[in-house]
Every structure is written in C-alpha cells, then in structure tokens.
Amino acid sequence: MSRSVRYTSSPLLASKTPVWRSKFVVAAVALGFMGLAARAAYIQVIGNAFFQRQGEVRFARTLELPAYRGRILDRNGLILASSVPVPSLWAIPDDVDRDPAKRRELARLLDMPLVELNKKLDSEDKSFVWVKRQIDESVARRVAELGIKGLYQRKEYRRQYPEGEAAAHVVGFTNVEDQGQEGIELAFNKALGGKPGSRRVIKDRLGQVVEDIGETLPPIDGQDLQLSIDSKVQFFAYQKLRESVLANKARAGSAVVLDAQSGEVLALANYPSFEPGLRQHLSGEQLRNRALTDTFEPGSTMKPITVGMALEAGRITPQTLIDTNPGYYTITGSTIHDVSNHGLLTVEGVIQKSSNIGASKIAFRMSPHEMWDTFTALGFGQKPQLAFPGVVSGRLRPYKSWRPIEQATMSYGYGLSASLFQMAHSYTAFAHDGEYIEATLLKSDAPAAGVRVFSSQTAAQVRKMLQMAASPGGTGPKAMTVGYSVGGKSGTAHKQEGRGYAANKYRAWFTGIAPVDKPRIIVAVMVDEPSAGRYFGGDVAAPVFSEVVQQTLRLMGVQPDLSVKPQVVAQRVEESV
C-alpha cells in the first residue's frame, strides 16, 4: 500500500526558495542562448570567410589541368619534340600505409633509396607530397598492384625527343614542370607551353573527388612550332662532325648549314652533345650550343671579306699584283709572316695561297673606318638577330683605336672575334649576290630580306677566288665534292690563353658555299683542339664540309653542276696560321 507524499509537510519542499536564485538560473540560461546565437552569427556572418577557408583547406582542392605542350617540327613536318601523357605518384602522408615490406618494394620499383622515400612519406605536409613524377606506365601498374593506401596517381606530360643527341642543342629540353630550359624549348616557352586550366573540387580523406565547386577552366594547349631545320641534314652534319672530332682526338666541334637563298638555318650541330630526354645528365659544358655561344678569332676566313671590300671600293681588281716578298712584312716593329715566300701574287693568288702579307697590304689601301663599316654591315661585333638563348655578339673594337698592326691583323682574322654562326652568316653576302640576308631558325616562305654590302660583280669575283682556294693549288682542296662546285676558305689559329696564345692548341675551320655560280647553301665547320697530328683547317674541317655539302645538296634536289666522276685531290698546300 503506497503512502501519499504530503508536500506541505516535507521540510525540503516546504522551505521557501529565494527569488534571486530562480532569476539567476533563468538569466544564465538566457545568456547561454545569447552566447550561442552570437557565436552562430559570427560563424555564419562575420567570420564566415575565415571558416570557409579553413574548411576548404581541409577538403577543397584546386586541380591544375595541364595544357598539352606544342610540338616542335622540322621544315618537313617531322617531329623533333612532342609530349606524351605519363603517370606521376603523389601521396597523403597521414594516410599512407606504414607497412615496411610494402615501402621497401615501392622504393625498389621507383629505383629510389628507402631513406629518401620514407622522408617524403613522413613529410610535414600531411595532405600532399610528390613521391615520383613522370614514371613509366609499366612501373605505375606494378605500384598500383601493391595497393598502398594513401598513394595516388595523376596524369602529367613528359617531353620526348626522337632525334636525340643530333638535334639536342637546337631543340633544348624542359624540366619536370614542363618549362623550357634550353634551346628552342626556352626561346619559345610561352608559345609552346600554352596555358593550364583549373578545376575546383571537394575531396574526401581518401583523395576521392566528392563534388565540383566553381567553374572549370579548360586548358589552352600550346602552339606547334615549325623550324627551318632539316632533320636529315642535321643528323648527317652531326654524324660527320662527331666522326671528325673523334678521329682527330679533338675537344669539340660545330657545324652550321644555311640556305643561301632564304637565310634559313638547315642544321646547327655540336659535339659533344647530350640526350635531352635524360634530365639527370643535363649539366656542364655539353649543353653549350658552341656554334652560337663560343667566339674565336676567325683567321683566314676573313681574307675574302677584306678582298671583297677593297674590290667594292675600287682600290684593286682581281688581277692587281701584290708583292709578298720576301715572305715577311714588318709594321711598326711587328712582323707578319707567310708560311712561305709566295713572291708576286695577284689578288686572286692572295686568296688561293692564303697570304697574310697580301691581305695586310690590301687592307692598307683602305681606311680603318671603311673596314669597320663593312665588318659591321656583315654582323661582326653585333648580336645576331636570332630567336635563341645565349647568342653572343663577338668582339670588334671601334676603328678609332686601331693601330696599324691591328688594321693589318684584322685583315686576316686576328684582333676580332666571332662565332661560327656569324662567320657562316657573313658569307651570305657572297652567296646572295652581294646582299647580307637575315637568318632564321623558323621555317619561312617569304623572300629573304637583305642589305646590299657588295655589288653582284664583286660577289661573283670573290666566289671565283673561293673556288680557287678550294681547288688543287689552294689551301682547301679536300673541300671538293663529287658533282658540285664548291668555294671556301680554310682557317687555322692558335687558341688564346690568358693574354697570349697557346703554343700547341688550335682551332681549325672551313667556311664555304656551293654550287659556286648559283649558291644554294653555306656550310661552316669548326674543330676545336685537334690533337691527332693534323690541325690545319684544310685537313681537319674541309673533309667534313665536303661530305655535308654533297649530302645536303642531294637532299635538296639540287642538280650537279659538274660531271660526276672521281675527283683527284692534289696534295694540300699548307695554309697560313
């Protein structure tokens, strides 16, 4: 039987509660609600941007949509550089499995030290880290089979270079971010690279996309670029240059092939070279495009220019006699020598025999100002207007500071410096009927723009002298080739070391044109420090010139202008040093 509670008789319930206590409880509850409301208002209104950012930091991601990098093509549309999609590995360090066996296998597959892998996976950035970028598809599949939690794959683009070492110095290469680092890849990086797009998404902790937020910006792919380079000419020039450098135990070599009618660069080869697709080996002097970045005293290849300016000024004719007796010539205390005493020579004979004395005496028929004007008009002392990184200007001092001995030595290529490309480019004035034309590395269908330096008659007269120099009795008969007439000038010079010249170090080169009457190409070859016993340009560089000329003209479909029969090459006549 239950007993009813008598509230009025209970001492606890019957006690009188103070009014302030109930008011305090109500006020506390009200203040609590007001605090919650204020906090909610702050989060939703005043501090909304901050909390949204914090949420996005944890779950929202901006995914870059990579743009396809434009291809680099040769003049015939053959690919010199292109991009292919490849997987890259990334991870969320907080989520990655810590299974030692799986990590060891992953390190083995990625050919990466385990210590380096663990360092990446234990990164302070707990939300994202690159593990290895641009791996092979087969490796990516085997990594996926490991089933490592927190490890993901993403598509990127990797550059491929089908021509490899042969075209490396022209094309250049990109870094892992697909940004150009050398060559055409660097010079035209903006046009080739395009513009990446973006996609804003929310991801869960497993890295899976949950929702798209905001607008997706599609990538703008890069533009294709067509060069003036002919990949077949480039490969052949590289191959013959490489053979010469190795056979002559030389330090390096370069070759330039120009279209004499359009100014387009058909080949720009250097050895040693590099494999542009192997980034771990891309360092050191092997990256230098020596044909454009290295300068040297051009030596005897300047003599035709000296004769050309004197012919143009009317100071001489091809048959003007120049006395080179007794084989040496003293100017203000300094003496110039020829290899031997050539006696009385015509101007044609000065070029054919490569007489330093003859060139000096011809130079003295002009003023330093006249010589400087012609040198400058042919690009010496100026940076070539070529869209390529690292192009150098060479050195040509102001004419007002020339001493008589310097005016004389400049007539045969000492006291000024130029790159191999500048030497080849200067010969366009002879090959293009007296006009010095612009050179380009991009394919061009427009007529070459030029500046007249010599008359057509002067250019023809110099071409005849160049042909004599590259024939039996001249200094470069080994430049002769089957089926085509050639004209050119060899050069050999001691290398500069400090303030003087090295006794046993030389640069040997040959610059010339073909065919002589209607030139289609200009070829320049330089071999640095040949040390196998031969060092004259007519011995070392001229044979490379001969082979490159013959192959290039055949590829261009140029008809032979000589009867095709075995050529008898006379014993070399030693050229001047």
Token pair for 562: 């000589």
Regarding the domain delimited by 231-555, which CATH topology (the fold level of the hierarchy) does it fall under?
A: Beta-lactamase (3.40.710)
- The mean predicted confidence, pLDDT, of the chain is 87
DSSP H or E stretch at residue 493: strand 487-497
Catalytic entry in 300, 354, 411, 419: 300
**Amino acid identity, position 354:** S
Question: Which alpha helices (H) appear in 356-469, and where do they start and end?
Answer: 356-363, 368-377, 404-411, 420-426, 428-431, 456-469
Tell me the pLDDT band of 310, cut-offs 50, 70 and 90. Answer: very high
Tell me the pLDDT band of 575, cut-offs 50, 70 and 90. Answer: very low
DSSP H or E stretch at residue 86: strand 79-91
Say if residue 382's pLDDT is above 70. yes
Average pLDDT of span 517-526: 96
Specify the pLDDT at position 219.
82
Average pLDDT of span 360-382: 96
Looking at mean pLDDT, say which of 3-7, 480-484, 498-502 comes out highest.
480-484
Rounded percentage of the chain residues whose pLDDT exceeds 70: 87
Say if residue 219 is preceded by a cis peptide, omega within 30 of 0. Answer: no
Rounded percentage of the chain residues whose pLDDT exceeds 90: 56
Tell me the pLDDT band of 54, cut-offs 50, 70 and 90. Answer: low
Burial class, 233, CB count within 10 angstroms (exposed 0-12 / middle 13-18 / buried 19+): buried
Between 37-46, 213-222, 266-275, the lowest mean confidence (pLDDT) is in 37-46
Region(s) of the chain under CATH 3.40.710.10: 231-555
Specify the pLDDT at position 570.
43
**pLDDT tens, position by position, 108-127:** 888 888 888 888 887 766 67
Does residue 300 carry a catalytic annotation? Answer: yes
Region(s) of the chain under CATH 3.90.1310.10: 63-108+155-226
pTM of the model: 0.82
What CA dihedral angle connects 252, 258, 264 and 266, to 10 degrees?
A: -60
Burial class, 208, CB count within 10 angstroms (exposed 0-12 / middle 13-18 / buried 19+): exposed
Instruction: Tell me yes or no: is domain 63-108+155-226 CATH 3.40.50.300.
Output: no
Say if residue 6's pLDDT is above 70. no
